[in-house]
Structure 1
Amino acid sequence: MAFTDPLRSIDDFDAGDAEWLHLLVGDWQLVADLGFADLLLSFPTRVISAEDNPTGSAIPAPDSDFTVLAHARPTTGPTAFHKDMVGETIPASDAAPLRSSWVDQRIERFKLTASETQPVNSILVVPLVRNQRTIAVVSMTLDPHFGRPVSQMETMYRETAQDLLRMANEGTWPDFAVRSDSRRGAPRVGDGMMRLDAQGRVAFCSPNGLSTFRRLGHEGDVTGENLVSIARGLDVRGNGVDETIAPVLAGTMPWRGELEAGNVSVTLRAIPLRQGPSRTGALLLCRDVTELRRRDLQLVSKDATIREIHHRVKNNLQTVSALLRLQSRRMTSDEAKHGLQQAMRRVSSIARVHESLSHDISEGVDFDELIRHQVKLAVETASSTQSVRTEVHGRFGMLPSKCATSMALVINEVAANAVQHGLKDRDGTVSMVVDRLPDIVNDAGDVRRVIEVTVSDDGWGMGDTVIEESGASAFRQAGEGEGLGMQIVRTLVASELDGKIRWQPREGGGTSVVIQAQFAA
């Protein structure tokens, strides 16, 4: 359940309000860290609708409690609440400050008496106003200093936190138009914080922020300097200080960017600070992500190497398959020619799995598209004189790459066997049905995904005999009427797929082969 669900029951609120609250809660850890304070997002349990209120806006009922919808703790200081407050109720007797701030739509500071649920001396209550309507309230705990000296950094942090809350009260932060960056390494308060004035000069820089710019190659202090000018004096890689990073350094746009100078990479995030329509300055966060980027580059290089290996293996297997095809054409013996064609088909099956792996860096294989072509190829290769249709029903989804080759080989052998022995020189249909069975837990406590594959033909049938192979019984020499393909199937199902295989009569005539395989969930 989304924490904004209580809003949706009120006619006066819309989906845009809920989305804006999600943006706020997704970014308010920044405010908690700057304010060294806990943040609580609260909503009244009973609301007087806009239609029933003479002011024309929804307000909390006079005797309404408030429910805490979200809670953020600071990472820069101690928490005021030692239990999660989400879902807790603030009784109407204690919620008067919340209701007053909601109705007046003004930020207010209230003195509180210390209690088990509220051990602080005062709170800052911020009504969140959008389109001239209050949609929720945020309360920030204020830590009493108890006479201890307060540093400039702490003062600047707290002032910036309250500036952001003031913008939230005005509905100007967070901004729907902010561009998101999915790369790792988003800067945090503790990584480095700067406060810029309206002209883009540094009014305050935390020690970590100064250290970050020193690593970029800047010498001296940054306070009073223009960061765009500083960046232009660095050995910046790529396009230099272009139009994408300059607005971030100047604090004019709410964007994120990355600055690379020498061998150092730094991510930057700017949040313009506003008082009404005027921009008063900006908050700039910075973080040294040199090691993160180095690891990202290693991962990309590793993934590219793995894909290239799979591609080369696929090419080599296709070469082997082509050589087997050429050799089979020179055979005069039908038995030798048939044996080489079977080997060619098996090698091609393995090559297709490696081809799929060469296109994707994930550890899984999208098996459905691969196996549809494989079943059709196996049937066409095995049916030289008869007309055989193929049908595939159900989905495999993603299979672990280490099991995909074994599953492809097993289905390849069973489909070819259905044509060669099940239909045996007659036209017909080979169908494959895939079912997902309930997950199981093995003896080690691991959850295992279970897939059942049924390959059927409408051919001559095998009488009433039922054959099932699994575990140790599958590891034996081929019996009467069993060829190499049968041995391959039994061995792979038991050893690689941790499953079992059963040959049984098909209802309506023919044979069904049921394969159960287990994979890590």
Structure 2
Amino acid sequence: MHAWYIFAHRDLLGNLKHIDPLQACALRMMETMADFTHILATRPDFDDSDREWLHHLVADWQVIADLSFADLLLVLQKGDGSYVVAEQCRPSTVMTLRIDDVVGNEIKDDMIDELDTTMRSNDVVRSTVLRDVGRSTVCNVYAPVRHNGKTLGVVIRETNMSTRESNGRYESESINAGKQLFEMIPREQFPYHDPVMNQRHNARVSDGFILLTVDGVVRYSSPNAISCFRRLGAVTTMQGQYLSEIGTQLLHTKDPVPEALPLVLAGKAAVDSELNANRSVISIRSLPLYGANGRSGALILCRDVTELRRRDQELQTKDATISEIHHRVKNNLQAVSALLRLQARKTKSDEVKKELAEAQRRVQTIAMVHEGLSQTADEMVDYDKVISNLLKMTVDLATMRDQHIHIDYIGSFGMMPAQDATPLSLVLTELITNAVEHGFEGRKDGRITISVGRGGNNLNVVVEDDGSGLDTEEDNGMARSSGSGLGTQIINTFVTNDFGGTVHWEPRREGGTRVILDMRLRAAQDLQEDSNATDL
């Protein structure tokens, strides 16, 4: 339900005795559904760039709340002149003033005049009175959100006055940096115009921050920031030193140097990077600080991510190892297939040649599944790609020189674990081979259609051909197969025993044969259960 519907009916909620109880309950429920995107939709005067600017603001304003030790509220004006809370941000460095979610709530009347004043202003506006939020005394400061010369809304910074009673150097530097960022909002200097960094950097103020002068000299570094650089091998006092020189001295000849690192260490651009030295890694983000007359310095956020990168490396090594194993298994199976082919050439018995050719095809089927697994980082394979190439190869091997058999696909198998992919591939290749060898025996062309329906772990596959008919492909309810009948055993064993499914043969209405497979993917079920257990 859109927010405009909620706001249009908010006046009804003020006098519930005239409303049916069920309607009042429904309106309250719809009111709680209001979110940032819905509220933005109530402003037809906002264009796409305005909405994007506000999205960037709320994506990056956590740093202001943490530095300022204050709650932030973004409020937008409605058509009737009232204001609604569009988004809120709680600080992670101090106890929040706002325990309840206030998004969608209207601002009280005693703040309307100050908000109106801010909407007409090009600078921050400080409240002249102290207000009570719960049991706390709060001082409000308002910043108009400006974009392309127009005011979109107001950010309210709510400061709990009890947090200002005894501040040391850390608190004072943090609050001043937060004020500078806050005052950049009306000048369209915050959020920064390049939002890419918001997606990659996860350092917080509490992880460590450094304040630089306009020349890149360290003016202040928090204890956690000092610890980050100590782990990289820094031994000198950071204050009074160029951060770029400190970082350069930590690097060795063969250490990786990201392209953005010099910009981050100088604090000249809103970018992020990593500093890797002494077998430790810190993630660094630069937030330039601007005054009315230009850049005045920079705030550098840093976080020790050594353990995170070590785990990433372990995962990459594990994935590479698994991929290599599948690649080697594929190579070994192909070698076995080649040996079977050589053995078939040596024998003089046509029956033995046919049996060896079937064995070669089955080995090659398993090899192709492992080839698909060798190209992925996990045990999942894009089965549609695997089976498409596999069945094309199966048809080529089974057809005579002058035959032309086409395969069509309807639906999608999706991603599938190797435990399911291998036996299913054997089942489908046996069915295709059976159709080609028996359904199209003596014919020049034909068509096979594979229809797939998958719902979670349930899989339904229908294999149809326009061949000679059921009598040529089925024997006593089971698939006919050349040689020893191993193909029949493969189909029925895997479908019934391994997948707990059924195989049903029936004549195709237009002529030919239809085989219906109903199965439940067992390995997919195991993975789903593991995922659910992890979520819990």
Fold in common (TM above 0.5): yes
Say which of 337, 355, 378 aligns to 1:321: 337
1:265-287: CA deviation from partner (whole Å, max 9, x where unpaired): 11111111001341111001111
Residue 6 of structure 2 corresponds to none
Query: Pairwise mapping of residues 165-244 of structure 1 onto structure 2 (< 5 A)?
Result: 165-177=182-194, 179-180=196-197, 186-236=202-252, 238=254, 244=260
The one-letter code matched in structure 2 to 1:31 is I
Residue 200 of structure 1: how far off its partner (Å): 1.2
Deviates more, 1:33-42 or 1:341-350: 33-42
Say which of 466, 471, 475 aligns to 1:458: 466
Cα distance change, pair 388–198 in 1 and its aligned pair in 2 (3 A) = closer
Residue 77 of structure 1 corresponds to 94
Deviates more, 1:196-205 or 1:487-496: 487-496
1:312-360: CA deviation from partner (whole Å, max 9, x where unpaired): 1111111111111111122222221111111111111111111111112
Say which of 31, 45, 63 aligns to 2:64: 31
Distance 1:505 1:398 in 2: 31
Contact 2:282 2:302 in 1 (8 A): yes
The one-letter code matched in structure 1 to 2:86 is L
Deviates more, 1:310-319 or 1:139-148: 139-148
Residue 480 of structure 1: how far off its partner (Å): 13
Contact 1:123 1:140 in 2 (8 A): yes
1:135-184: CA deviation from partner (whole Å, max 9, x where unpaired): 1221121011277311221121122112112112211122223553866x
Residue 113 of structure 1 corresponds to 131
Gaps of 5+ in 2: 3-34, 529-536
Query: Pairwise mapping of residues 332-371 of structure 1 onto structure 2 (< 5 A)?
Result: 332-371=348-387
Contact 2:59 2:198 in 1 (8 A): no
* Residue 18 of structure 1 pairs with residue 51 of structure 2: yes
1:2-24: CA deviation from partner (whole Å, max 9, x where unpaired): 72454455454211111122112
Residue 262 of structure 2 corresponds to 246
Contact 1:415 1:430 in 2 (8 A): no
- Aligned to 2:511, what secondary structure does the other structure show? coil
Distance 1:353 1:182 in 2: 35
Cα distance change, pair 364–229 in 1 and its aligned pair in 2 (3 A) = same
Distance 2:350 2:409 in 1: 31
Distance 1:518 1:314 in 2: 26
- Aligned to 1:104, what secondary structure does the other structure show? coil
Residue 140 of structure 1 corresponds to 157
Distance 2:105 2:95 in 1: 20
Residue 303 of structure 1: how far off its partner (Å): 1.2
Q: TM-score, normalised by structure 2?
A: 0.83
Residue 68 of structure 1: how far off its partner (Å): 2.0
Say which of 488, 496, 504 aligns to 1:502: 504
Cα distance change, pair 120–425 in 1 and its aligned pair in 2 (3 A) = farther
Residue 133 of structure 1: how far off its partner (Å): 0.5
Contact 1:388 1:430 in 2 (8 A): yes
Say which of 141, 158, 164 aligns to 2:175: 158
Say which of 275, 282, 288 aligns to 2:291: 275
Residue 36 of structure 2 corresponds to 3
* Residue 263 of structure 1 pairs with residue 296 of structure 2: no
Residue 254 of structure 1: how far off its partner (Å): 1.3
Deviates more, 1:256-265 or 1:8-17: 8-17
Distance 2:252 2:273 in 1: 13
Distance 1:384 1:465 in 2: 18
1:78-107: CA deviation from partner (whole Å, max 9, x where unpaired): 111112222223245544332331222431
Residue 128 of structure 1 corresponds to 145
1:173-226: CA deviation from partner (whole Å, max 9, x where unpaired): 22223553866x632111111111112111111111111112221224211221
* Residue 515 of structure 1 pairs with residue 517 of structure 2: yes
Q: Aligned-pair RMSD on alpha carbons?
A: 3.0
Aligned length: 487
Contact 2:123 2:183 in 1 (8 A): no
Cα distance change, pair 163–500 in 1 and its aligned pair in 2 (3 A) = farther
Distance 2:369 2:256 in 1: 44
Residue 379 of structure 1: how far off its partner (Å): 1.8
Distance 1:195 1:81 in 2: 29
Query: Pairwise mapping of residues 411-450 of structure 1 onto structure 2 (< 5 A)?
Result: 411-437=428-454, 439=455, 448-450=456-458
1:432-485: CA deviation from partner (whole Å, max 9, x where unpaired): 333335x4xxxxxxxx3333221111223226999999xxxx9xxx99999211
Residue 493 of structure 1 corresponds to 495
The one-letter code matched in structure 2 to 1:366 is D
Residue 392 of structure 1 corresponds to 409
Distance 1:405 1:71 in 2: 51
Distance 1:98 1:139 in 2: 9
Deviates more, 1:352-361 or 1:141-150: 141-150
Distance 1:329 1:364 in 2: 37
Contact 2:438 2:473 in 1 (8 A): no
Gaps of 5+ in 1: 47-60, 440-447
Distance 2:162 2:137 in 1: 11
The one-letter code matched in structure 2 to 1:507 is R
Distance 1:458 1:296 in 2: 52
The one-letter code matched in structure 2 to 1:307 is S
- Aligned to 1:38, what secondary structure does the other structure show? strand
Residue 247 of structure 1: how far off its partner (Å): 2.2
Contact 2:481 2:488 in 1 (8 A): no
* Residue 372 of structure 1 pairs with residue 388 of structure 2: yes
- Aligned to 2:36, what secondary structure does the other structure show? coil
The one-letter code matched in structure 2 to 1:274 is Y
Q: TM-score, normalised by structure 1?
A: 0.85
Residue 311 of structure 1: how far off its partner (Å): 0.9
Contact 1:466 1:504 in 2 (8 A): no
Distance 1:389 1:500 in 2: 26
Identity of aligned residues (%): 38
The one-letter code matched in structure 1 to 2:388 is R
Deviates more, 1:423-432 or 1:168-177: 423-432
Deviates more, 1:383-392 or 1:201-210: 383-392
* Residue 295 of structure 1 pairs with residue 311 of structure 2: yes
Distance 1:179 1:369 in 2: 33
Higher helix share: 2
1:51-92: CA deviation from partner (whole Å, max 9, x where unpaired): xxxxxxxxxx4xx33222222211111111112222223245
Contact 2:122 2:187 in 1 (8 A): no
Distance 1:166 1:497 in 2: 64
Cα distance change, pair 401–36 in 1 and its aligned pair in 2 (3 A) = farther
Contact 1:236 1:260 in 2 (8 A): no
